[in-house]
Amino acid sequence: MRSVALTVAALASAALFACAAPAPATAAHAPELQVTGASLFVAGAAKPLWSESGNRELAIASTTKLMTALVVLQHVHDLNRVFSQGTWIDQPGDSQIGLEPGERMTVRDLLVAMLLPSADDAAEDLAYNVGHGSTARFVAMMNAEARKLGLDHTHYSTPSGLDTPGNYSSAEDLVRLADYDMRFSAFFRHTVNERSARITVGDDQVTVTNTDTLLGEVPWVHGIKTGHTLDAGYVLVSEGTRDGFTLTASVLGTDSEAARNANALALLNYGFSEYHLIRPLRRGATLGRLPVAYSSALARVVAAASFADVVPDSARVVLKRKLPKRLSGPIAAGAVVGHVRVLVAGKVVADVPLLLRRALPAVSTMTKVSQALGGPFTLILVVLALGVAVAFTAWRRHPRALAAGPSRQR
């Protein structure tokens, strides 16, 4: 990983700053792709690093099954539950595992069949059963979930992704959905990263193969879903991890499986070559030592939280602290005493509180007087002088009594 120079500067302003998430900085070079739509995100991010026709509503083929899988996993918690195939009739050109009406399979095996070889009959079986005997009811559940996730350029009319009016999404929405799936379900993450798997279809043990051939070609790629129809062309949503961070990409409308893979790989390689991970803040790291009133000690100030981000290689990263000139007790350990802003290419991307590492006790009045008068030796002289003054005043008032000293009892 490349090294990052960090500049630490003090801020003059005393006002608190509330950080709003800015749009990500853009790298200098953009990939040239042969697609109808494409998008690249850092996993978990709200906005793309790069996008081409990212919100264009397009046919998406079997990447529809990303939502089918999510709705099934939300409603079926026992993946060993057995479903019976409904009366769905396949169409010419369907990808399927050859289910017959009434045939029984576990939800686990149906999901594997739907996600790896992209079996349309498995998708229809899942939709029919989770929809309580109604595929239309299941599709309505898919659309409700799309609205809940804020997929504004997505609508479903089928659980399988066959070319059907009203079934579409966008490059950016596909990435957001895939990223959500990967974080929502460990089973989903594991399955889409498998090159092949064994499932039970009826009485037979069958080996199914993942249609995502990048899994076998590129070691750092781990899923997610392919798609292909006449209207959609070849579609792929991919995820890869390198250099400590993960990117998710979508390419739509490519004209062959080879072009699909080449465009997806070019987009991911662009992201990993033009961006890098920074970790400018770590929780508990010391970001300052402040003078303490009436003490020679320095108070340690630490970051309240860690912060990491993926930024363009050319972006300058700056830390700017906002701290008082000195501290005065009593202050409890962990109290907020300042803030630090993280700026990337001049834009604030984070605002993290700075905490006092150890408590500062209250300062006694004697210590304050001592400091004010110049130190403990001066204080002793002052006390002695006061004592002499008091004794002299008493002698002037009662000289004989003081001269005679205390009387003795006879």
pLDDT tens digits along 16-48:
323 333 445 555 567 889 999 999 999 999 999
The answer as to whether 184 is a domain residue is yes
Instruction: Tell me the pLDDT band of 371, cut-offs 50, 70 and 90.
Output: low
Three-state secondary structure call for residue 286: strand
69 within a domain of the structure (yes/no): yes
- Whether 351 and 385 map to the same domain: the answer is no
Q: What is the mean pLDDT of the chain?
A: 87
Instruction: State the amino acid at position 151 in one-letter form.
Output: L
315 pLDDT exceeds 60?
yes
What is the rounded CA–CA span in Å between residue 194 and residue 204? 20
The residues, ordered by sequence, that sit 6+ positions from 405 with a Cβ below 8 Å of its Cβ are none
Residue 376 lies in domain: 365-402
Nearest 5°: CA angle at 241, between 236 and 247? 55
Residue 20 included in any domain:
no
Same domain, yes or no: 156 and 223:
yes
In whole angstroms, what is the distance from residue 385 CA to residue 376 CA? 14
Q: Are residue 103 and residue 153 in the same domain, yes or no?
A: yes
Gap between the Cα atoms of 203 and 184, Å rounded: 32
Residues 6+ apart with CB under 8 A from 150: 176
In a domain, 9, yes or no: no
Same domain, residue pair 64 and 156: yes
Judge whether 22 lies within some domain.
no
Residue 7 has what pLDDT?
35
Same domain, 243 and 375: no
What is the predicted pLDDT for the residue at 90?
65
Residues 180 and 70 in one domain: yes
pTM of the model: 0.80
| Cβ-Cβ contacts under 8 Å for 395 (sequence gap 6 or more) | 402
pLDDT at 10 over 60: no
The whole-number average pLDDT for the span 95-123 is: 92
Last residue of a domain, one of 257, 275, 293: 275
Residue-by-residue DSSP string for 107-149 = HHHHHHHHHSS--HHHHHHHHHHHTTS-HHHHHHHHHHHHHHT
pLDDT at 398: 67
11 to each of 286, 325, 348, how far by Cα in Å?
18, 11, 13
- Residue 8 inside a domain? The answer is no
Radius of gyration for the chain, computed over Cα atoms and rounded to the nearest angstrom: 35
How confident is the model at residue 363, as a pLDDT? 80
Give the chain's domain count.
Answer: 3
Q: Which residue has the higher pLDDT, 7 or 194?
A: 194
My answer on whether 74 and 130 are in the same domain is yes
Domain boundary among 275, 300, 317: 275
Statement to judge: residues 385 and 348 lie in one domain: no
